[in-house]
Structure 1
Amino acid sequence: MFRQRERFERTDVPRDVPYRDAVAIGVLVAVFVGLVVLVASLWARANSESSVANKDLSASIAAQGESVNPEGYVASSDVFTNVLVLTVDDVDAANPTLTKAQVVSLNATHKSGALATIPLDTKVNDGTSDTTLSELYASKGASACVVPLANAANVKLSHVLLATDDIWDKIAGMKSSGVSALLGSASDVLSSIKTDMRTSQLLDLVELAQAVGIDNLSAFDAPAAAEDNGNGGTWSVIDQTQLGVSLGTLVAAS
């Protein structure tokens, strides 16, 4: 009489599990949906009015006129992104204090850049009277400073960035590029700024700044001369031609 052979299952061989493919697909779908929700949430935060695409700042950028070529000079044919950076103590404060004003000019053609520090007592005109940049900011805010300063400096501004002092360090620290970089640093970077830029434009600025190299920017104080303000004091008047030459936006006419 034959004995029935005992069956042994090998533990080193994968077993066919019913619906295994369906389970795997279900897990992948769940992960994908979770990522979509996360990215959508971060993207919405990145595009929130409190950080980017600020309507008042966007309107002020759009209200600028064209810069004028002084005698003996023409506009450079290179492609520039000129950013007015207004540094404040606290972006989210009701009335942040202006501590620094700079124009960052990034040359996309040659991957170079310059950073001009603008005197806070620069003479500007708000459309009705002359005042200083710091006084105009204190009385009317960042958006009111864009056109008057662009006129005083004779520089067409591409964007304006209201930020804390460490913003460029944060941008330099974003080693990767693209959406993942911004999303990965969203809470850190976006909490430090207000700007007219949309998220895509901010990404472009980050990538261009990294291509140029923050440490490679040619930094200088904007050339200016003291002028009597008529009230027993002085204010600074920017040398528009020299500033344009130093930024690279103006070149000598041939």
Structure 2
Amino acid sequence: MKHTTKMAGAAGILSVLWLSLTAAVAASQRRLLFNPKIKREVDRPRSSGHRTRPIVLRTADGTKLSGWLMTPSVMGPHPAVLYFGGRSEEVSWIARDAGKLFPGMAVLAVNYRGYGDSQGDPAEQHMIDDGRMLYDWLAERSHVDPERIAVVGRSLGSGVAVQIAMARPAHSVVLITPYDSILAIAKRRFRAVPVEYVLRHRFESIKYASALKAPTYVLRAATDDVVPHSHTDLLVAQLAQLHSDETIPDSDHLTIPYLESTQERIAAFLKARFAIAAHQA
């Protein structure tokens, strides 16, 4: 009888601990998933190959988003790029590096809600809704060729880029350290928690991969302790229009977008894709 009582007591304690852990993950998921950076990565962002100007755009619910629009110095219309950053990324560095990353292209890089000078709080649905608005705004610029707009997403932003490419006629897609889904990664990290019942921001790119119509270029870090390669493998296996899947030597999850080899490959891919479209027009 005593043994049964002890067993029941232990089971009760474990149940309380499990419920506490589940509640803690549910309550802190926004902090775990999003890590907004307010301070600029670059104090005075300016592309050597573009005219650079800060912009403030208002979302459908009135939230102000801040970022940068970069346009080539020659007359357009130009191919264009819409960039989505990572979990802890403030995007002013894009304005600095756009000349190497996106030569001859118009570029729009806007901070998510709660990042940089953008107002509001980050959430998956906000990122998708705002991303569609940003794509439409960019396509309406007189110096932009609306038939040649690429979406580029890094890490967390790869999940945004995939969904925007599904919702809009993206010409090309570049995914830097992408994943199959945040839900799958969360399940891997919190094995004792029923994550599928508490996670609200799932970023399930794998659901859309087989229907993506745009040629997609995947870049992986040689060493990645944030997005395990197995989670990228699952996404790549489902991509309907995979152009190539490359690993950048001597890179990790944090350094990969800043490396010269990464930037040269992205520039070469986009220039080639845009040139083919221009020739066919």
TM-score (norm 1): 0.35
Which protein has the larger Cα radius of gyration, Structure 1 or Structure 2? 1
Question: TM-score, normalising length from structure 2?
Answer: 0.33
